[in-house]
Amino acid sequence: MNQAGSEFAPPTAYPTANGPVSVTAADFSGDGKPDLAELLAARRPSTFVIYINTTA
């Protein structure tokens, strides 16, 4: 996160599945850290992928 008087860190690219439609962040694993959910509506039936935050 940005701190007062400093700059943002460089961006980090994360791989996604084919056909992402939407991404949201929430604590899906209940550990207090934000995880990511990616909706893949290009697939039938629509599916999603959850990326669990494994940082310390």
pLDDT in tens, 8-52: 778 778 777 677 788 899 999 999 999 999 888 766 777 888 989
Greater confidence (26 vs 6) lies with 26
Q: Strand pairing partners for 23?
A: 38
Please tell me the predicted confidence (pLDDT) of residue 11.
Answer: 78
Which pTM value belongs to this model?
A: 0.64
Please tell me the predicted confidence (pLDDT) of residue 13.
Answer: 80
Are 40 and 49 a contacting pair, CB within 8 Å? yes
Letter for the amino acid at 34? P
Are 49 and 38 a contacting pair, CB within 8 Å? yes
- Please report which confidence band the pLDDT of residue 3 belongs to, taking 50, 70 and 90 as the band edges: low
Please tell me the predicted confidence (pLDDT) of residue 7.
Answer: 74
Pairing, β 35-40 against β 47-51: antiparallel
Q: Angle CA(34)–CA(31)–CA(56) in degrees, nearest 5? A: 75
